[in-house]
Amino acid sequence: MTSRETNSPSPLRRGACLRWLLALVLSLGLTSTVRNLLAREQPPKPFEFSLTRMGTFFRITLYAANQTEASKPAMAAFERVEQLEDLLSAHRQDSEVVRLSRAAVLVPRPVSQDLFYVLDKSLQISRLSGGAFDVTIGPLVDLWREARRTKRLPRTTEIAKAKAAVDYRNIELDSQGRTVLLRRKDMKLDLGAIAKGYAADQALDLLKSCGIQSALIDAGGDITLGAAPPGKAGWKIAIDDPSPQGKEAPCTLVLHDVAIATSGDARQAVEVNGLRYSHIIDPANGMGLQDSGSATVIAPDGITADALATALSVLPVPEGLRLVESIEGAAAYIVRRTGGEWRHFSSRRFPQECNDIRKRGN
Ligand code: AMP
Ligand code: MG
């Protein structure tokens, strides 16, 4: 798996930071800029910013010398996320991905570097997960969103029709011309399982290009981490664990320079006739997942962690663990409830702390 340092595009990144520096000089004048430079001698302090972006609570925590040096890069990072939302959101009718789903049937369409990168990564994870992760899931997502609204299950015929349009092998990417072709008219792309992780990566890259090294980006549970806070071993991250043991004795890890993402049905699910169906869908049968639980993945970058966390929610546990073991720098912690019993699993590279807590608490 390639890391974002080598492969991920960074359009506008340097430009955005240069704009920020220029705005800083112009808006504050030279004297206060000199004052700011002197302030850099002071130890950096934590600053937190949050906004609703990509349909979730997006939080940036960073270390900087003062409020100005913290807020300008943070705003530039939010601007970058906003730009990505315009490209990747399935909820914006004029987003690039929505227009692509309408236009790219049997004709190769040129797309932005960002969209191409996310689709390329999506196809890699689809292949590795044998289709458990599939961004052509859109028609099924629409059905299950309607089910959550009406509290009624989709009809079998509706599921069969939508499922027929879901298959990542019907996406053709051409890296030479940076084009995308969709093989079926009824296909609909949905990047909900991967776009937030990518946005978190890009926000962190932008902060780094502005000279901010210690930062945490939390895109609603998809977390990307920069260097550790000054003088600390890392960022304290509490692992989402919906089991009773997880609530009683939560496991906390100290991490830096990695990404960590959790997928699960804790918040978005529909209950019909006593059965709970998740917003995460198994492309193999078109059904919302019924085994409740969560999958947490640590990976070198957010795009990988986000996509893998969704894939591992769908896959049977042994297959999911095999998949993360095969990816360099990836590790997973899976919580599942099957037949009323909660169980915890972790891959070899996952930090031992969580297992130790479960051994003591279970
Ligand atoms: P996440 O919270 O990252 O696991 O993403 C869940 C979202 O991804 C859902 O709300 C859908 O938009 C989409 N999705 C659901 N099932 C799948 C799947 N099997 N593969 C890819 N995307 C999915
Ligand atoms: Mg995901």
Asked if pLDDT for residue 174 goes beyond 60, the answer is: yes
pLDDT for the residue 320:
98
pLDDT at 40: 53
Q: What is the pLDDT of residue 33?
A: 54
What is the per-residue pLDDT for 356?
Answer: 79
* Ligand 1 atom closest to 263 (CA): 4
pLDDT at 202: 98
| Nearest-10 crossing angle of helices 302-314, 195-209 | 160
CA distance 157 to 10: 43
Helix or strand or coil: residue 271? strand
What residue owns the CA closest to ligand 1's atom 15? 280
Determine if ligand 1 sits within 6 Å of the CB of residue 135. Answer: yes
- Among protein residues, the one whose CA lies closest to atom 3 of ligand 1: 193
Ligand 1 pocket check for 125: Cβ under 6 Å: no
pLDDT band of 41, cuts 50, 70, 90: low
pTM above 0.75, yes or no: yes
Q: How would residue 36 be classed by pLDDT, with cut points 50, 70 and 90?
A: low
Atom of ligand 1 nearest to the CA of 196: 3
Strand ranges for 265-351 from DSSP E = 269-272, 275-278, 281-282, 287-288, 293-299, 331-338, 341-346
Going from the Cα of 139 to the center of ligand 2, the distance in angstroms, rounded, reads 18
Model confidence at 338, pLDDT cuts 50, 70, 90, reads confident
Answer whether residue 32 shows pLDDT above 70: no
229 close to ligand 1 (CB < 6 Angstrom): no
Average pLDDT score over the chain: 89
How many percent of the chain have pLDDT more than 90?
76
Confidence check: pLDDT of 327 > 90 = yes
Lowest mean pLDDT among 70-84, 143-157, 342-356: 342-356
In the predicted structure, residue 302 carries a pLDDT above the cut 90: yes
Q: For residue 310, what are the contacts with CB-CB under 8 A and spacing of at least 6?
A: 133, 193, 194, 263, 280, 295
Is the beta carbon of 134 within 6 A of some atom in ligand 1? yes
Test site for ligand 1: of 97, 118, 125, 190, most ligand atoms within 8 A of the Cβ: 190
Q: How far is the CA of 197 from the centre of ligand 2 (A)?
A: 7
- Ligand 1 centre from 192 Cα, in Å? 5
With 50 as the cut, is the pLDDT of residue 2 above it? Answer: no
pLDDT reported for residue 162: 98
User: pLDDT at residue 49 above 80?
Assistant: yes
**CATH among 1.20.144.10, 3.10.520.10, 3.40.50.300, 2.50.20.10 for 92-189+233-362:** 3.10.520.10
Structural domain boundaries in the chain: 92-189+233-362
CB 1 within 8 A of CB 300: yes
Nearest to 268 by CA among 193, 342, 158, 160: 193
Q: Which residue's alpha carbon is nearest to atom 5 within ligand 1?
A: 193
Q: Which of 264, 279, 254, 274 is nearest to 342 (CA)?
A: 264
Among 129, 281, 304, 310, say which to mutate for ligand 1: greatest number of ligand atoms within 8 Å of CB: 310
